[in-house]
């Protein structure tokens, strides 16, 4: 939880998020009474990588996107119905050409 959320007053969070704002405030302050269930079924599976340098070549990005998707598919096994890709963070999209951003967000699959 970011320091920005931690620094917001409880009432501000409640105003914007209703009762969920109280929960966000508690989490931001290290308050969480939920029990840990270590052996439950995973709700999601992901795979990611970080590159030493930004990659601006669309074909390389496409190839990496497919590689990561295949790694997720292998981990999921048969019976999975969907696979989705989250877009890069907004600061990445703001600092790269629209062609690169669109290739990542819209045409990876």
pLDDT tens across 61-90, in order? Answer: 888 888 888 888 787 776 666 666 666 666
Q: Which residue has the higher pLDDT, 18 or 97?
A: 18
59 membership: H or E segment, kind and range = helix 58-76
According to the model, what pLDDT value does residue 83 have?
66
Are 46 and 72 in contact, with CB atoms under 8 Å apart?
yes
Number of Cβ atoms within 10 Å of the Cβ of 75: 12
Average pLDDT across the chain, whole number: 76
Nearest C-alpha neighbor of 31 from the set 44, 40, 22 = 22
The pLDDT assigned to 10 comes to 92
CB 100 within 8 A of CB 54: no
Provide, rounded to the nearest whole percent, the portion of the chain with pLDDT above 70: 70
Structure token pair of residue 26? 């508690």
């Amino acid at each position: 939880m970011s320091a920005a959320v931690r620094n917001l007053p409880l009432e501000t969070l409640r105003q914007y998020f209703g009762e969920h704002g109280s929960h966000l405030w508690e989490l931001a302050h290290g308050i969480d009474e939920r029990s840990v269930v270590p052996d439950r079924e995973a709700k999601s599976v992901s795979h990611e990588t970080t590159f030493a340098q930004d990659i601006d070549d669309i074909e390389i990005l496409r190839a990496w996107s497919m590689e990561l998707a295949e790694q997720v598919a292998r981990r999921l096994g048969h019976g999975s119905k969907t696979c989705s890709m989250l877009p890069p963070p907004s600061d990445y999209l703001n600092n790269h050409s629209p062609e690169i951003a669109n290739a990542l967000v819209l045409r990876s699959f």
